[in-house]
Amino acid sequence: MTKQKGITAKKEKNFSEWFTQIVQRTKLADLRSNVKGCLVFQPWSVLSMEKMYKILEENLQRKGHKPYWFPTLIPEENLKKESEHIGGFTPEVFWVTHGGKKKFEEKFALRPTSETIIYSMFSKWIRSYNDLPFKTYQRANVFRYETKATRPFLRSREFYWIERHSAHSTENDAFNQVKEDMQTTKEVLHNIFGIPFIFFERPAWDKFPGAYRTFAADALNPDGKVIQQPSTHIISQKFSKAFDVKFKDKDGKEKLAWITCYGPAISRIFASIIITHGDDKGLKFPWEIAPINIVIVPINQDDKKIKNKAEKLKKQLQKLTSVKIDYSDKRPGEKFNYWEMKGIPIRIDLGLKDLQNKKITLFRRDLDKKIIIPEKEIVKEIKKISKEFTQNLIKKADKVFEGRIKNASNLKEIKKIIKQGGIARVEFCSIDKEGERCAEKIEKEVGAEVRGTKLDEKKKSSGKCAICGKKANHIVYIAKAY
Ligand SMILES: [Zn+2]
């Protein structure tokens, strides 16, 4: 048997190499397929992402969003209907031009996103205010011809997501949907997956193609770069006009619907999960989405008593969660390292001495600590740990994140914070068109971006723009991005 390679790169010192080792050595994905920019997702990531899908879909369904499966092929005609949208997406579209040997008169796009097919159906389904709000979502893979460097889970040409689309009768209802999306993101990404983030309204110059208002969550990587997580948009009414999404209102008048969409990318969120919680030993899965929650390592596995005990424990604990016994021919020490690297929440080390003393030794990956408990308390203890586990990961992650947001009042201070891998919070003239020049100056001199404003910002700006010195209308956050 070949010796399992462990993680040797340090997360804080060499994040990029650490991430590559994590992906390959814990077998999250195989990058060796001959499809450029795409990867083979392996069981250790798929099992976890299936759980992520389930949690997110259940949350959406609870809030009244209904699942649909729309075609992957989108006729070019649909994409062309809204000019800003097609302008924004054309460079990234994979085109299907042939069916067998026959060349299509009109080509199809492999969905880069599904607005243009979903809204064309909205126009057939929505008639009156009684039909609104109309709430749909689908889980799907999407295709984008990325020309920037691809990175597993973070940016690839095919990725996995949920897209939620809805139509509403008023702008206010649409805005409430956007707020619900932010709440959903908090409930799932933060409270279950343990990812700290800030939800920003993006500046006028950084909106989704065809959006009227764009809101997006930014998470932070150890190299000081933010990574965009779900975004939610109030779509420009040009869309409802282009796709004829109209309804007869209570006053008898025909009106254009207000449309919103929200796109949590499961594979990319998975990246933030492993980046946020992983350490120099390897992965650390939140309890709720671990591929397997408990591994039992029989230390003297040829001993019949140990084997019986392992099987008995497995049966008992399987009623609570997923359990696996490691009977491989590795030495116990290798098995310990291996499962720590794989990020299994709890390991049970089963030895003869414990068996005689009616004790059980547990290793908790949340605290990286061994504990010894009386055998009869095992079920109670696992139940207790399952409730604390993710909370411990969240507390730690939040502390790191909050420590990296710092106030700055001029370009020099912004530079310093960015250089230290932080996010700078500054007074800024405007996130409308007129502020773009100041944003460009920051980009040029610091290599960082104005990510936007926080909707729930407590303090309102009263000072001067840190860049141009004019009256500041907004407080913005500045960070490096991928
Ligand atoms: Zn300014």
> What average pLDDT does this structure show over 75-93?
84
CA of 218 to the centre of ligand 1 (A): 23
CA of 425 to the centre of ligand 1 (A): 14
More confident site: 206 or 4: 206
> What average pLDDT does this structure show over 170-192?
97
CA of 348 to the centre of ligand 1 (A): 58
Is the separation of the CB atoms in 22 and 7 below 8 Å? Answer: yes
CA of 438 to the centre of ligand 1 (A): 5
CA of 408 to the centre of ligand 1 (A): 14
CA of 427 to the centre of ligand 1 (A): 9
CA of 227 to the centre of ligand 1 (A): 25
Q: Rg of the Cα trace of the chain?
A: 25
Beta bridge partners of 139: 162
User: Is 125 buried (19+), middle (13-18) or exposed (0-12) by CB count in 10 A?
Assistant: exposed
Res. 2 pLDDT band, cuts 50 70 90: low
CA of 464 to the centre of ligand 1 (A): 8
CA of 456 to the centre of ligand 1 (A): 22
CA of 185 to the centre of ligand 1 (A): 31
CA of 474 to the centre of ligand 1 (A): 10
What pLDDT does residue 301 have?
81
CA of 433 to the centre of ligand 1 (A): 11
CA of 470 to the centre of ligand 1 (A): 6
CA of 5 to the centre of ligand 1 (A): 51
Burial annotation 3-16 (CB, 10 A radius, 16+ → b, else e): eeebbeeebeeebe
What pLDDT does residue 462 have?
77
> What average pLDDT does this structure show over 467-477?
95
Tens-digit pLDDT profile for residues 47-62: 999 999 999 999 999 9
CA of 411 to the centre of ligand 1 (A): 11
Q: Write out the DSSP string of 278-339.
A: -BTTB----GGG-S-SEEEEETTTTSHHHHHHHHHHHHHHTTTS-EEE---SS-HHHHHHHH
CA of 197 to the centre of ligand 1 (A): 25
> What average pLDDT does this structure show over 392-413?
96
CA of 429 to the centre of ligand 1 (A): 4
What pLDDT does residue 236 have?
82
Tens-digit pLDDT profile for residues 422-465: 999 999 999 999 999 999 999 999 999 999 999 888 777 779 99
Q: Is the pLDDT of residue 3 over 80?
A: no
More confident site: 85 or 107: 107
> What average pLDDT does this structure show over 358-380?
97
High-pLDDT (> 90) share of the chain, %: 90
Report the C-alpha gap between 264 and 139 in whole angstroms.
10
Nearest alpha carbon to residue 389 among 449, 451, 321, 457: 321
Is the separation of the CB atoms in 475 and 457 below 8 Å? Answer: yes
Q: Is the pLDDT of residue 89 over 90?
A: no
What pLDDT does residue 4 have?
67
pTM of the model: 0.95
What pLDDT does residue 208 have?
78
CA of 436 to the centre of ligand 1 (A): 8
What pLDDT does residue 120 have?
96
What pLDDT does residue 461 have?
75
Res. 302 pLDDT band, cuts 50 70 90: confident
> What average pLDDT does this structure show over 407-432?
95
High-pLDDT (> 70) share of the chain, %: 99
Q: Is the pLDDT of residue 276 over 60?
A: yes
Q: Is the pLDDT of residue 20 over 80?
A: yes
What pLDDT does residue 480 have?
95
> What average pLDDT does this structure show over 318-333?
95
